[in-house]
Structure 1
Amino acid sequence: MRGIETKPGLDRDEYPPAMFQEGGQEASVRHITAGDNRSRHLYWRSMQRVA
């Protein structure tokens, strides 16, 4: 997420997530609340455990 400005009280969130092959350089990045970002992170982690 280099080059994407930070904003106080918000996290930068990318889609597709950087952990996926499709993520990274071409990802869409937007600012979301920290709480939303943390809950999405926990969701993705739970999906990794199932696979």
Structure 2
Amino acid sequence: MTSARLSPDLFAVGAERLVYGDAVALTLQSPLTHGPQHRHWGIESFAGGHAHQCSV
């Protein structure tokens, strides 16, 4: 993953944002890093104003 300088203001001129590939990598990294610390996971996603839940 490339390192992006996180700006407190996403709309500031020159603010750097994650590109799609980096966002996907970060999304996948999070449960792999934190998942083993928990017996039960709750996952929720949002798409087009609809929420989808999954319990693992």
TM-score if structure 1 supplies the norm length?
0.37
TM-score by length of 2: 0.35
